[in-house]
Structure 1
Amino acid sequence: MTFDMTKIDSELKRIEEEEGVRILYACESGSRAWGFPSKDSDYDVRFIYVRPVDWYLSLFEKRDVIERPISDQLDINGWDLKKALNLFRKSNPPLLEWLQSPIQYMEQYGVTEQIRQLSPLTFSPRSSMYHYLHMAKGNFREYLQGDYVKIKKYFYVLRPILACQWIEERGSMPPMEFENLVEQMLPESKLKQEVYTLLTRKKAGVEFDLEPKITVINDYLDRQIAYFEETAKHIAVSGEKQEAALDALFRDALREVWGS
């Protein structure tokens, strides 16, 4: 069944009306943005929103996320701007990925671009490498052990391992697109050929089941996980917190969205 893309826009507008918020930015965050969706992949929409000024002037902590049940292939939820900026200050990789998603559904006002401009200053190589390494280790341990493995899970280990390599070599946030990482991080080799063969099959809509493990990929991942477990200990700790700049950005966003 073909997905009606207008559902995303209408759902974002419905959230604004029902919640009394303004959505600043919305993008695709999952396998579609990474470049390896399955036939039945959901649309993983993530957004950043801002509430009226009085909501923030409260003695009490209030819920700072908006979530909707998954329905009709649509998985949609978002973070309040204050929450997003606090995570940004800590170099949160999922948020940094959202900001550079190749599939963007909405961008209103100037705040999102201002956050992007601060990204190189706040980026923490060590915390980001640990994030991707944890993701790779978990999926490798869970899905890629034994003679027969869940073959599509190779993508969910390869991508974070290549992201670790990018961080080590370039000291910046890796791109979201899997194929971009493969092309720039892997030399021409049997390994690269096997990875592209898998990617070609997935793009063709092949639904992977249990298949014999691909030894050259398994061996590579095993080596790289061990390597980055040591490397992460010695990589640069963090960028600058930019707290004053983020405070100013938050206030400016409130003024821009809701007026003075």
Structure 2
Amino acid sequence: MHKTIQQKLVKIEERYHVKILYAVESGSRAWGFPSKDSDYDVRFIYVHRPEWYLSIDQQGIGTKRDVIEEPINDLLDISGWEITKALRLFRKNNPPLLEWLRSDIVYYQKYAFVDNMRALESDVFYPSSMLYHYLNMAKKNYREYLQGAEVKIKKYFYVLRPLLACKWIEKYNTTPPISFHELLEDIVPEGTLKTEIDNLLKRKMIGDELDLEPRVNVINEFVEHEMARLEEYAKSLKVEVKDPTKMLDELFRGTLQEVWG
């Protein structure tokens, strides 16, 4: 599949007259808990030729879109962000983008862009914004998926992963890792809770993820307690971040020069 994805990326470059800078896996495979029928969620960052940027119509006007989205099928979901869109989201400390930078499954990387971007991460890190993103995700998924007497196994991980990411931010004041296993090992101590999570994880990965069954009370109690506590913690955070726009402008211009000459 790796080769198939790389071939599709080459075709995207040819069809849209762009250069792909970075392409990674971003879904459950990157998080470390794919099931046997998980699809591939490929995300990439790309750059147009200089003349695309030097025109009176900015992106978003007419046909100048800032995303490339390929048709989704049962096996492959592939889409990408244009470089300036990616850098604006990077400036906002966008968690999905920062997760891309941490993916262990890299399909393509060329030029210095991503390494230079990673070097600037400390200049854009904003713990309040990131913590609220993950906390709101956990709360929303908890309301939608884990309120009934019976729940689907896989839905626990759509709540646990963002919740553990919040606790990582609280503990280390850094961007959390993408791997659920790393979060689990660091954040959850040995005991009943971790044992129950490990059991669910094993079952999900062998294909039990769609089964409805009684909810696991020890996990629900942990989630409810931590969501309430982290809500209060988030309110206490006060962090000022300097505007990194000038540095990101320089990164964009330098990438244009490196890629296109």
Q: Deviations over 1:215-249 (max 9, x none)?
A: 00000001111111111111243533311111111
Q: Which residue matches 1:118?
A: 120
Is 1:150 the equivalent of 2:152?
Answer: yes
Secondary structure of 2:236 counterpart: coil
Q: Which residue matches 2:212?
A: 210
Structure 1 residue 207: Cα displacement: 3.6
Q: Which residue matches 2:193?
A: 191
- Measured in 2, the distance between the counterparts of 1:121 and 1:222 equals 33
Number of residues of Structure 1 aligned to a counterpart in Structure 2: 256
| Unaligned residue ranges in structure 1 (runs of 5+) | none
Q: Does the 8 Å contact 1:143/1:153 carry over to 2?
A: yes
Q: Which residue matches 1:163?
A: 165
Q: Which residue matches 1:40?
A: 37
Secondary structure of 2:38 counterpart: coil
Secondary structure of 1:76 counterpart: strand
Q: Deviations over 1:101-144 (max 9, x none)?
A: 11111100001100001112211100000110111011100000
Q: Does the 8 Å contact 2:153/2:208 carry over to 1?
A: no
Q: 1:238 to 1:10 in 2, by over 3 A?
A: farther
Q: Does the 8 Å contact 2:17/2:48 carry over to 1?
A: yes
- Measured in 1, the distance between the counterparts of 2:240 and 2:153 equals 35
In terms of mean alpha carbon deviation, does 100-109 or 59-68 score higher? Answer: 59-68
Q: Which residue matches 2:25?
A: 28
- Measured in 2, the distance between the counterparts of 1:35 and 1:206 equals 16
Q: Does the 8 Å contact 1:168/1:235 carry over to 2?
A: no
| Unaligned residue ranges in structure 2 (runs of 5+) | 60-64
Provide the TM-score with structure 1 as the length reference.
0.95
- Measured in 2, the distance between the counterparts of 1:191 and 1:137 equals 19
Q: Does the 8 Å contact 1:125/1:236 carry over to 2?
A: no
Structure 1 residue 72: Cα displacement: 5.0
Q: Does the 8 Å contact 1:89/1:243 carry over to 2?
A: yes
- Measured in 2, the distance between the counterparts of 1:59 and 1:181 equals 47
Q: Give matches, 1:6-155, under 5 Å.
A: 6-62=3-59, 63-155=65-157
- Measured in 2, the distance between the counterparts of 1:241 and 1:99 equals 21
Q: Deviations over 1:39-90 (max 9, x none)?
A: 2211000000000001111222321100011125110000000010011011
Which residue of 175, 178, 196 corresponds with 1:176? Answer: 178
Secondary structure of 1:233 counterpart: helix
Identity %: 57
Q: Does the 8 Å contact 1:125/1:238 carry over to 2?
A: no
RMSD: 1.2
Q: Which residue matches 1:251?
A: 253
Which amino acid is 1:84 matched to?
A
Q: Deviations over 1:133-187 (max 9, x none)?
A: 1110111000001211122100110000000000011100000000100000011
- Measured in 1, the distance between the counterparts of 2:58 and 2:254 equals 22
In terms of mean alpha carbon deviation, does 66-75 or 126-135 score higher? Answer: 66-75
Q: Does the 8 Å contact 1:47/1:78 carry over to 2?
A: yes
Which amino acid is 2:76 matched to?
L
Provide the TM-score with structure 2 as the length reference.
0.95
- Measured in 2, the distance between the counterparts of 1:148 and 1:64 equals 41
Q: Which residue matches 2:62?
A: none
- Measured in 2, the distance between the counterparts of 1:8 and 1:60 equals 32
